[in-house]
Amino acid sequence: MFKSVLIANRGEIACRIARTARRLGLRTIAVYSEADAGALHVRACDEAHPIGPAPAPESYLVAERLIAAAKAAGADCIHPGYGFLSENAAFAQACADAGIVFVGPPPAAIRAMGLKDRAKALMEKAGVPVVPGYHGEMQEPKFLKQKAYETGYPVLIKAVAGGGGKGMRRVDRHADFDAALEAAQREAKAAFGDARVLIERYVGAPRHIEMQIFADAHGNAVHLNERDCSLQRRHQKVIEEAPAPGMSADLRAVMGAAAVAAAQAVGYRGAGTVEFIADGAGGLKEGGFWFMEMNTRLQVEHPVTEAVTGLDLVEWQFRIAAGEKLPLKQDQIRLDGHAVEARLYAEDPERGFLPSTGRLVALAFPRHEGLRVDSGVEAGDTVSPFYDPMIAKLIAHAPTRDEALDRLADALEQTVVAGPRSNAGFLAALARADDFRRGDFGTGFIDAHLAELGGVRLGLDRAAAARGVQMLLAQEQARLAVDEDAVASPWDDGDAFQLSGTRSLTLPVIADGESVLAQVNYGPGGASVSVGGEGPAADAVAIAADEAVYVLRRGRQTKVSLRDLALEEAADAGAGGLVRAPMHGKVLAVLVDKGAAVARGQRVAIIEAMKMEHTLTAPIDGAVAEIAVAAGAQVAEGAKVLTIEPAAES
């Protein structure tokens, strides 16, 4: 076994790898960018080395700096985690050339499976079923459009490199192909440095099922059962579970054998995931699944496999990289109960799941039997705009699927995240969704149920806002009680004295960016608060910070602060033509010129955040009066992008 490991990653996966490494007696070595100098993964390791500026292409994606750090620390091996350079064959080769073991497959296997088009061709030769479509070298737009027509709509355009839904577009009509291809290629180029795509038939009732495989250097290969990753949004996994609902033992054996054959076809070694698309219409069945791709690394969702098998997959990775044989044979691998994982993100489901950055004012998770939490941040840390906005993974394990989902939903509802917004409430609703519980779901389930899951504008939670005002009132009274020189404010009098009737105050507050009036009535029993006729929510958690109160209720966050009329921007009054950045990000393109006429809903700019593109549209008909940013600029959330003068009334 190795004596030391450099973890070439960050966040929760770096923390998770460090836990197993320490248990095995390895010295743990972290790397960090300037933005991560105080990060949890740095604090979790025995030592840490700086590798450059915050942007990943200048730090975590610079192989030479990682190799240099490993040499300086005397690391025996490098574990790449997932993302970044984990599936980079050149990095794996650089490790070998430097005399440092890469905890992963050999470079040749990464190359063989790293490009989806070549991988599909290889699988066809190995007898593994693949989705019909085009995965050749020709990339001329007219040719690809013709191949899409021949394949039959709907089709998927997919980047040949990378994954995670980036560079992927579904196209339902021939007329929409050109725009979708352009967007997919641009996103693929930005994310992976490779604009090439493939075309494949879109399966009508798709289920995304993957097999966890392991292979050693002695010719042995096994599968560790399947995971169902069908609950997706924008082709990115949201909830994963093991085993797959409706999976029979016979079909598991067939899919497992196909996955093992795929690994053996490329001389695989280490942990890998063979991903299949299955036709869920009428239930899972033989002849109804096809190879999509192979991820030559550990997966984000590996904990559900660990839960049902009782194994530590990172330990297996270390042992195989050290030259040991697989610890178990196929018939020794168990399947115990059911496990489900939810990815808790700093994002706002009510605003199109836009990333939400900033300081974590509070972060706390429940502690329950059968619940595991993997996180790379703590309260006080900052969710940076430079990296994936994952806060944590919550994994629930129980004897049955219903019990596991109940346990997960309960945990999500009890999770406290304040500061950045999170998808906790959305995930809890998803875990409790009736159709999902019945097994009636596919990859399009979330899009089809957005409204009932809370993925749309829900409006102000007035009871939560009232709870926030109540805490602001309590804070002010506490301040006045200890500060004799405190400046008078509308909160000063806490008694019920008035010559006649009930004394009341109407106070302007800001609740989730909305100006509202809070009513404070003073009676014999003290002060009572209401917003829009609703009193404080009894089931809410209120957290005070930064002259504001964050109220958490049913997984939603409501930020409440006193409204300072003197500081309001008069310029925004009635500024229906103001286009602001919805999140911190980079301006990829401004699609209009100053003076140009635009129509409501027209695309005017593209901003990239967390490696995903977000299109800004014109809110009104009119003419572009001002362009405040340029392509390539970094913008903060809320920053002015451009303004549109309303069209003159005729």
Residues catalogued as catalytic: 297
607 touches 616 (CB < 8 A): yes
Please report the sign of the dihedral spanned by the C-alpha atoms of residue 294, residue 295, residue 300, residue 302: positive
Pairing mode, if any, of strands 27-32 and 47-50?
A: parallel
| Nearest in space to 222 (alpha carbons), one of 309, 103, 115, 134 | 309
Instruction: Name every residue whose Cβ is closer than 8 Å to that of residue 33 and which is 6 or more positions away in sequence.
Output: 10, 50, 51, 52, 53, 54, 55, 56, 58, 59, 60, 386
Q: How far is CA 627 from CA 581, 585, 623, 637, in A?
A: 12, 17, 11, 16
* b/e sequence 524-546, b meaning 16+ C-beta within 10 Å: eeebbbbbeebebbeebbbbbee
237 touches 229 (CB < 8 A): yes
HEC profile of 53-97: CCCHHHCCCCHHHHHHHHHHHCCCEEECCCCCCCCCHHHHHHHHH
Task: Please confirm whether the linkage preceding 154 is cis (ω < 30° from 0).
Answer: yes
Residue type for position 324: E
Task: Report how far residue 126's alpha carbon sits from residue 129's, in angstroms, rounded to the nearest whole number.
Answer: 9
> How many helices (H) and strands (E) are present in the chain, helices listed first?
17, 37
Q: How far is CA 277 from CA 201, 229, 338, 443, in A?
A: 11, 10, 21, 10
390 touches 344 (CB < 8 A): yes
Task: Report how far residue 478's alpha carbon sits from residue 489's, in angstroms, rounded to the nearest whole number.
Answer: 13
Task: Report how far residue 492's alpha carbon sits from residue 231's, in angstroms, rounded to the nearest whole number.
Answer: 52
